Amino acid sequence: MSLLPKRGSEGSRRLLFTFADQGISSTSNFAVGLAIARLAGPTEFGAYMLVFTLWLVVLGCHRAIVTEPIIVSTAGRDAPETVSHGVSAELLLGAAVSAVALIAGLACSAAGAQIATPMLAMSPWFVFLLVQDYWRAMAFRQRRPGLALVNDSVYAVVQVVAAGAFWLLGWRSVGSMITAWGIGAAAGAFLGLIWFPATYAPRAGQELVRRLWHLGRWLLLDYLASFASDYSYLILVAGLLSGVAYGGFRAAYNLLGPMLVLVLAAANIGLPAAAAHNNPDDPEELRRFARRLSALSTICIAAYGLGVAVAGDVMLRVLYGPKFAGYGFLATLTAVQYVVTAMVLGQGVALKAAGKLRRLWRIRTLMAIASLISTFFLVRWFGVDGAGWGTAATGVYYSAGVWWLYRRELVHGGDHDARFATRPATSVVTFGSIMEAAEAAAAPPPSPRGSQLPT
């Protein structure tokens, strides 16, 4: 007989399946970049990583517009019709992105830009990539991470088989590795049809997005602001560094892939669980969950970050090749970003679950502006090392903003305005007073029709 109660055993299995699934998913993505780095060298690897960053934009947007609104709005109940219509929305979005990527890739090819090859190679696969990710999210929504694990395992196996076949046939190029990745995603997308309801109803998909737009628009704005603060500096750095230096910087950044596994796995668990813990009669329940999620994430990420700080140069040389040696210091600074961000991971998820989307978006917008400005000057002053320091600074900005908002909205709650009004006047300028003034300046004017929006 198990020493743990049945519920605890099931929770432990879900946790194990979630981390295993995210590990497989991130490894399949990491393997593509690793193969391209060894085949083509730093310059073409940098071009591929720039396209991959644009893919992250698409991934975040589809989650904000479709996936996360479904998770939040259907928490605690079955909704097969909503899940089915969500697939239609994903198909429409994927087709639109593929068309845009094809046109952009052709334009880049005509201009002779190196980014053209990876962009054209990825353009046919966006539909499959989005649908496969949607199935993963629906599995987590139903607290059935085992389904996501099976799906991603099939995805990875098919990708490896396709890449091996291309290698044996002599098709050893950037395009062939991306194509193998896309074939794996297609396998996962079709596999999901076995477990989840799906119908192709474009109008129903559009209607679903419109119906959930009151959530989706703020989740989208929050993601775009989050991307701007967390990742847009990666695009900015591409324009400031040489091709070789940018490739080395991105290799060092990618060395922290296992940390990203932990962050994404924690987020996959976190949002559905935080929505379930969002109890208006017991606000401490959500705060307790946020503290535990942040603590667990920080401990795990800090352990790996210490290893990177000690052996970053060796890891880069072994994984990416001798051309990438010497960028270990940048990997250490990236580890700092992940550790600092993990310290408020639970608090950020709790703010989403509590519906504090508009204010979270404002804070992230301010953090994005600070990140871009500081990164620009750091790179101009210190070159590729400045890009590393900009990475660490981005994590600090984000964590400070989220922590301040969490304390204001979920710890002090409605008492904040009264406490602030009765606080003795002081000439000391604090981070909170700066954020309050900046948030007030960034706030949009009130709706003339008095429409109620998520705070």
Q: How far apart are CA 341 and CA 396, in angstroms?
A: 7
pLDDT of residue 147: 85
pLDDT score, position 10: 62
Cβ-based burial of 362 (10 A; exposed 0-12, middle 13-18, buried ≥19): buried
Closest CA to 249 of 257, 237, 258, 260: 237
pTM, two decimals, is: 0.69
Cβ contacts of 318 within 8 Å, gap of 6 or more: none
Q: Is 24 within 8 Å of 153 (Cβ atoms)? A: yes
Q: How far apart are CA 269 and CA 278, in angstroms?
A: 14
Q: Which of 405, 454, 404 lies closest to 219, judged by CA?
A: 454
**Residue 429: per-residue pLDDT:** 36
Which tokens is 254 given? 């990618």
C-alpha 389: how far from its chain's center?
A: 21
Q: Which of 350, 327, 27 is nearest to 160 (CA)?
A: 27
Cβ neighbours, 10 Å, residue 161: 14
Q: Which residues contact 446 (CB under 8 A, 6 or more apart)?
A: none
Q: Identity (one letter) of the amino acid at 289?
A: F
- Give average pLDDT by consecutive 10-residue segment, the chain, 455 residues: 42 71 76 82 83 87 89 73 84 92 92 87 92 88 82 91 90 87 92 81 85 86 75 82 84 80 68 77 83 87 87 86 84 90 88 81 83 91 91 89 89 52 37 42 40 39
Whether the CB-CB separation of 391 and 337 falls below 8 Å is answered with yes
State the amino acid at position 424 in one-letter form. P
Contacts of 162 (CB under 8 A, 6+ apart): 179, 180, 183, 184
Residues 6+ apart with CB under 8 A from 60: 223, 224, 226, 227
Instruction: Give the pLDDT confidence score for residue 120 in this predicted structure.
Output: 92
| pLDDT for res 404 | 92
Largest CA distance in the chain: 75
- Computed over its alpha carbons, how large is the radius of gyration of the chain? 22
List the domain boundaries for the chain: 10-211, 219-442
At residue 376, the pLDDT reads 92
Q: Evaluate whether 394 touches 230 at the Cβ level (below 8 Å).
A: yes
- Cβ burial of 131 (10 Å; 0-12, 13-18, 19+) is buried
Query: How far, in Å, CA of 387 to CA of 374, rounded?
Result: 10
Q: Which of 33, 35, 64 is nearest to 256 (CA)?
A: 33
Cα–Cα dist 216/61, whole Å: 9
d(CA 65, CA 197): 20
- Tell me, what's the pLDDT at 229? 67
Contacts 24+ apart (CB under 8 A), 32-37: 32/177, 32/178, 32/180, 32/181, 33/254, 34/319, 34/320, 35/163, 35/177, 36/174, 36/177, 37/247, 37/251, 37/320, 37/321, 37/324
* Contact present, 180 and 163 (Cβ < 8 Å): yes
